[in-house]
Structure 1
Amino acid sequence: MLDVYFDEFVSSASASMTSHYSIDVGIGNPIAATPDGTDATLVHLSLGSPIIDGIMYNLTVFDVEDLSGNPMASQTIPFAHYEPHAFDVVINEIMADPTPAVMLPEYEYVELYNTTSLPINLQGFVLRIGTTDKIIGDVTIDPHGYLILCDDAAQSLFEAYGNTHSFSSFSVSNTGVNISLLNSLGSVISFAEFTDDWYNSSFKADGGWSVEQIDPLNPCLGKYNWTASDDNKGGTPGALNSVNAVNSDVVDPELLRAALENSSTVRIWFSEPMDSSSVLNPANYSISNGLSVFGVPTGFAPQYQSVLLYLDQPVQSGVIYTVTITDTLTDCVGNPLPVSSSARFAIADSLEAGDVVINEVLYDPVTGVDDYVELINRSEKIIDLRYVTLATLNDSLQVDDQAYVAPYGYLLFPGEYIAFTEMPVEVINYYNPIAPNQVMEMSGMPSYTNESGIVVLATAAGSILDMLEYNADMQDPILESVDGVSLERIDYDRPASDSTNWHSAASTVNYGTPGYKNSQYSKYEGGSNITVSPETFSPDNDGYNDVLNIAWQFGHSGIICNMKIFDSNGRFVKNIMENAPIGPEGVITWDGRNEDGQTAPIGIYIIYTDVFSSDGFTDKVKTVFVLAGKF
């Protein structure tokens, strides 16, 4: 059935003649033309051949008469039957703060763009702005055309710029809001999680300028595909965006991780927004150890970057399960996720202080990059970070400014690293880590000042799991600037409170290793009396033997230690410990700096260690090592 509308009442006899209608692409004349019983401007055409979805047709109408007997001239109208898929129509431009106006009407608007070569009717579609739904009426977007959505009061003003549809009380928050376009069934067609960061210009964010999508064929890239308009008017409603350019998504999606929501529900995460139809198909997943996916998964709209899988039976404690992708899943622009991608999950073990520790901190980032804190699971347990926070201490030395690192859960397996930051893409782009998926976005991360501060790892209840009190003096003195230089923990089995257990990340890794093994990692190997490792070190921050680990092992307790370093001519260089109570064994690190904070010259050095205890135990040890360098 094809409905034809005229601009005035038509003669029933004339409108009933099938010879007055013709459709191309092999359809021809309709088999019947039936005037509507109540609307004299409407005629229903019955066709002898079906209309194929997605094909453009042309209907030619001629000689149909009005009620006065005036025949119409021949007129051809294109039409198609097409049910839009996700991102066939995209949110393409947003004017959230029109004041002060540049050259456009001083009203908010949202522009839609039809990415297809077919006209798309939006009747019954919903524009959702935050929690407010605006139902779109009978309006069609032309192929590769635009539609301006605005307030009723602004419709006549924006009609000069193109096809316009208006609503009452139309408003977009200046600072940001989630905007979605839904079809009549509630499926997501397009979304934009707009924030005022999208302007990339503090001046234009103050008002009068729209944000425009750069590449409408890559609609899921978020803020990296949007920026402030470059048009002199302040925006381009109803026209090609001023910033339009190719910004293709050439990166395949990845399955990042899995975590239990409860004993029979597992949540999985993908690296980017996904196509909903593929990720909600239960046949695309398999579970190890005899489990199966039960029922239809639940996706988190509009991005579908996370999905809940329901299991046919509860998981068992002490068993590690694997969820595997068994068929092709795609991101929102069609890039495939590799089949057989998998992620592990299990019931987590109890968390205790020392299981997960702070392993690296970037507190003074370069411009355009943000702080990060890296953790490592040094235990043999599987730890869920769901109730773990990063924090600081206030003036009363109480845990303060807490923020969850992974409020929806993150399973950290033994020996694994994870770095948290508010700007993961920027951190990854700057440091190019070998494990980029181990850099994770965290909301509301505490602010750590550039000169000194306290990084606290704590439970949600405030119990401290680990703590680092840092300052700029802990950085390598040979560095002219410590901007963008992280502090790495040398040995995660040594206390974070030991300032000698921290060192600047190496220049060979661009001064940071978020999400993977520290460039300055060095493990105490043990030994009798006083040993050094390595026996030759070079404090040039190249990531190879940059620090000297000095280890001791005495079969005695209650020891007081004096440890000094001298050069080969017997000149004093550095006081390592003075009347310091130490345990029977331990390790301390020297970074090559003398008492004046300068790097000691190349040469042979001697550690002189003098220990004693109140019960008469004494020992004196000389240990030789070499400080080397490059020529």
Structure 2
Amino acid sequence: MIRLVYVAIAFGCITTGLAASSSEPGSSRFPSGPLVINEVHAAPNDSDAEFIEILNRSDRTLPLSELTYADANEDFDPVVPASGPPLPSDLPPGHYLVLVRDSTAAARAFPDLWTQTPSDAIVVAPPGWEGLNNGGDVVNIRIGGNLSDQLTYDGDWFPRNTSLERIDPNGPSAAFNVRPSTNGASPGRRNTQYAPDTTAPKITFAEERPDEAGGEPKVRLYLDEGVASQSVHADNFEVRGRPVHDATLHEDLRTIDLAVKAPLRDQSDSPLVSASGLADRTGNARDKDEIIVALQPTEGDLRWTEIMYDPRADGHDGWPDQSEYLEMVNLSTYQLTLHGLQVTGATDEHGETDQLAAVSQTKAISPQSYALIYASGDLRGSTPEERQSSLNEAFPDMANSGGVLIEEDRSSLRLTNSGRSIVLRSEAGELIDSLLYDPDWHADDLASTDGVSLAKISLTAESTSLVAWTSSAHPDGGTPGHKNSVHLPQEQSAVTASVTVSPSPFSRSRDGATRIQYHLERPAGTIRVRIYDAHGRLVRTLVQSKRTGSEGELLWDGRTDDGHAVRMGIYVVLFESVDVDGASLETARAPVVVARER
């Protein structure tokens, strides 16, 4: 049975500016007492149906005679009046104390409050209630003279005729721990938004931040929920087993910056960051958490590998529609962050450029893995998952590729059919890779470029090299997330002064080109590379004079200087270099076999 208790209460209207600090979304004040303000109904259609619900969240029975309440003025009054009809003396564990403005109006609005059996609620209908402020108010509850809970709410947090419910009774009285009821209101019952937090915070992503001039290396951690500031200090973190210099918690309480003194690239693999004792604002703590730090890419770490600039997009051809996309590969030994990458066109004479894509997601790419940036505007589906499924229809092998997918919510990446510059830059604006693609890079025997990507033959070749690209030979028109259908295997250059050619034999239709790798004993100043046929006749000058380091690679597509395909047979690569002092000439030769075209 519901028990009616008539007490005197004086709730005056107050302004939203009072006690504003405790209503900030970032507040992490823990309720210290056994009573919490569990639900507030400040703006019902009938103003007399206002109520405040208080929950005994403890495991002991609490005497009502020790309970007092107040608004922001903190002029506390007892819940139990000095005289009147007999009253319940205690509030049992897990039970509710519901303060209603008018019992008749409350009975009309919430008839179940009086009929539910068994009941966990004591209903108090105090006379003289002056009303809760619809635009915002402060509610305080004390027991035995000690503040047990305080809730400051704002009128923008809930719509009219909807109560504000506490999500986790053990969580703080802060904006993140209250939501509008999904059922209008739930006095005397478990809140519709009831969702206790029993899980400790977890690091979801860690990345190196762009270098600041003269500053220490910095690692940024992203967490799945807000953390208590008391649990964030430098002693709780290590990067590659070394202590950090400083730990800074952002205002969102979900981002932490760590300052480290040692370089992050001082070893051949990515560093590991560990955190101890991170706790959320409910008190859940994780003993230890670890995650790999994704480093900032530098020039050459990421290379363009595939370009779909002319996707198939005909709703009546019986084929799944494709999307424009750009694919890149991680050639480094580190896990790299993609967050903040910018894809632009060429810079004009005014120093301006057009942006083709910008990566806002916190994603990373593993060594030797692929990442795909695609335009989703032409794909079916209203959610990223549905649009990705539509892309999978066009490229079924992509689903099991393990590649990183980055959706650009636009109809096009503006990859023109006539070719254009594509520049990849880091978040700090540093150049990583660039190229100027041309439709002439497609295979000569290709009838139409519609639905066929440009694929890079050699991942390690310069992206600007025209012989490094050809048409994808895959039946789907491209291989997003996978190695290209026409590709040369990655091989290491020889450890002594030499030239290595692979594959050999090769054919343009099957392999696209052959890779010529060189490794010199002395740092070269300039090199010259020529190709001769079996009769000693010069057929191609790959490089006449080029400054280079002690190693590198070139590609030969089996054509002469005039652009004609050579005949099948044996050819010789002649490599010549002059050292940086111009005093030493180094030469190397290697045979290469051109096979029959299939």
TM-score range, shorter-chain basis? Answer: 0.3 to 0.5
- TM-score, with normalisation over the residues of structure 2? 0.47
Normalising to structure 1: TM-score of the pair? 0.45
Greater RCO, CA 8 A, separation 6+:
2
